[in-house]
């Protein structure tokens, strides 16, 4: 028996999480949806999105056949929008190539859009009890500490070493392997999320403390080896909050790309908001600069310089970019990037719009 997996399984069954909305099901659709939403996002943030998604799209076929607009609207606010586009593309592939049923093993699941090796393994473990290892960010942290692995876990050689350990320490095959795999996979996730946390690991109650190299050598705060920090590039953009008769002008962002498929404010590169309006076919009756704010993306930081424009004459140009006038009352449910929605909500709340 593998002491590591045994301890994780036993701990998960007694102390792990059992009541999350995506647990206690073997439905790969529900499991997949939760796994994608949970990437880079906290459980508490995901739960309401997950429930709204399932209400609107009870099956993967419902999701596959929905307009992209509806999918993006439900995703708006969760961030990392390529996940939503891949989610939709994946549902369509399952609908057309797999007759609406999820592929039957991790290798085939990993061929679908937006699903990496670890996510495919998690889906196959929870749905089918397949013996396939996971290695997400939390598990890498646990492994780096428990096995005392030096080096940046995002680098290929370190990652390959971890994958090899992940394979070696799976629960053994046998009649109980499917149940064991479910508990073990969930246990690794729970351990990383609740005990072996980044800042303050709770080693005193950890089920694998007896064999943990980091604990033995008091190196929990050195492992995993931090990633080399590179300076984050910065960009700036002007945004136009063009207001006309109680409505705001929005344009659809090109997809793929940052905020692709979402509705957002027209952008312009310089400082001349009135001239930028004219290129859209809007004559500004008044333009006022609003406070600059910043939004962090994975690879750069965006400084947004918004302008509030009262539209005078309108002769909107059709340059192929879809645009709409959004009434204030529809702001809440609209598929807008989170910082843009926050900007508009703040302006409405303070009575600076309409």
| Residues contacting residue 142 through CB under 8 Å, at least 6 positions apart | 188, 191, 192, 196
E strand or H helix that includes residue 348: helix 338-349
Q: Let me know if 217 is a catalytic residue.
A: no
**Residue given tokens 């950890």 in the structure block:** 206
| Residues contacting residue 257 through CB under 8 Å, at least 6 positions apart | none
54 counts as binding ligand SF4 under rule CB under 6 A: no
In the bound state with ligand SF4, the residue whose beta carbon lies nearer, of 11 and 128, is 11
As measured in angstroms, the least distance from the Cβ of 20 to ligand SF4 is 21
In the bound state with ligand SF4, the residue whose beta carbon lies nearer, of 150 and 272, is 150
User: What residues numbered 189-248 form the site for ligand SF4, per CB under 6 A?
Assistant: 195-196, 201, 203, 206, 208-209, 212, 214-215, 220
Q: What is the spatial distance between Cα 38 and Cα 296, in angstroms, rounded to a whole number?
A: 19
As measured in angstroms, the least distance from the Cβ of 217 to ligand SF4 is 10
As measured in angstroms, the least distance from the Cβ of 12 to ligand SF4 is 14
Identify each DSSP E strand in the chain by its residue range.
Answer: 234-244, 247-252, 263-264, 267-268, 282-289, 293-296, 301-314, 323-327
Q: Extract the tokens encoding 2.
A: 């593998």
As measured in angstroms, the least distance from the Cβ of 214 to ligand SF4 is 5
DSSP states along 260-323 = TTSEE--EESSS-HHHHHHHHTEEEEEEEEPPPEEEE-SS-EEEEEEEEEEEEEE----SS--E
In the bound state with ligand SF4, the residue whose beta carbon lies nearer, of 195 and 309, is 195
User: What residues numbered 130-149 form the site for ligand SF4, per CB under 6 A?
Assistant: 142, 145-146
Catalytic residue among 35, 130, 243, 305: 35
Total residues binding ligand SF4 (CB under 6 A): 14
Q: What is the spatial distance between Cα 306 and Cα 190, in angstroms, rounded to a whole number?
A: 42
In the bound state with ligand SF4, the residue whose beta carbon lies nearer, of 193 and 338, is 193
Q: What is the spatial distance between Cα 13 and Cα 95, in angstroms, rounded to a whole number?
A: 35
As measured in angstroms, the least distance from the Cβ of 351 to ligand SF4 is 50
Q: Extract the tokens encoding 206.
A: 């950890």
As measured in angstroms, the least distance from the Cβ of 36 to ligand SF4 is 26
In the bound state with ligand SF4, the residue whose beta carbon lies nearer, of 21 and 151, is 151
| Residues contacting residue 149 through CB under 8 Å, at least 6 positions apart | 143, 158, 161, 162, 223, 224
Q: Extract the tokens encoding 102.
A: 């999820």
In the bound state with ligand SF4, the residue whose beta carbon lies nearer, of 196 and 241, is 196
Active centre residues (catalytic): 35
**Contacting positions for ligand SF4 (CB under 6 A):** 142, 145-146, 195-196, 201, 203, 206, 208-209, 212, 214-215, 220
């Amino acid at each position: 028996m593998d002491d590591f997996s045994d301890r994780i399984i036993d701990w998960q069954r007694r102390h792990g999480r059992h009541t999350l909305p995506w647990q206690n099901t073997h439905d790969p659709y529900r499991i997949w949806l939760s796994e994608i939403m949970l990437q880079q996002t906290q459980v508490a943030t995901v739960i309401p999105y997950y429930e709204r998604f399932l209400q609107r799209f009870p099956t993967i076929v419902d999701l596959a056949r929905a307009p992209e607009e509806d999918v993006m609207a439900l995703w708006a606010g969760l961030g990392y929008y390529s996940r939503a586009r891949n989610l939709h593309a994946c549902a369509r592939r399952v609908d057309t190539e797999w007759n609406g049923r999820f592929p039957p093993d991790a290798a085939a699941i990993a061929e679908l859009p937006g699903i990496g090796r670890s996510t495919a393994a998690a889906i196959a473990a929870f749905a089918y009890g397949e013996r396939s290892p996971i290695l997400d960010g939390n598990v890498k942290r646990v492994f780096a500490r428990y096995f005392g692995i030096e080096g940046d876990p995002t680098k290929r050689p370190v990652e390959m070493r971890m994958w090899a350990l992940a394979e070696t320490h799976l629960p053994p095959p046998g009649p109980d392997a499917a149940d064991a795999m479910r508990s073990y996979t969930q246990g690794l996730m729970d351990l990383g999320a609740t005990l072996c946390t980044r800042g303050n690991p709770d080693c005193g109650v950890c089920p694998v403390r007896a064999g943990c190299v980091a604990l033995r050598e008091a190196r929990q705060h050195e492992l995993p080896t931090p990633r080399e920090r590179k300076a984050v590039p910065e960009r700036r953009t002007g945004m136009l909050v063009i207001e006309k008769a109680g409505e705001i002008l929005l344009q659809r962002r090109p997809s793929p790309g940052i905020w692709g498929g979402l509705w957002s404010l027209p952008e312009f590169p310089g400082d001349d908001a009135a001239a930028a309006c004219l290129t859209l076919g809007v004559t500004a009756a008044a333009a006022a600069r609003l406070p600059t704010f910043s939004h962090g993306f994975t690879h750069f930081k965006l400084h947004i310089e918004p302008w509030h424009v009262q539209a005078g004459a309108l002769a909107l140009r059709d340059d192929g970019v879809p645009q709409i006038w959004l009434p204030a009352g529809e702001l809440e449910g609209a598929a807008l990037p989170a910082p843009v929605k926050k900007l508009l909500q703040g302006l409405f709340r303070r009575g600076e719009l309409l």
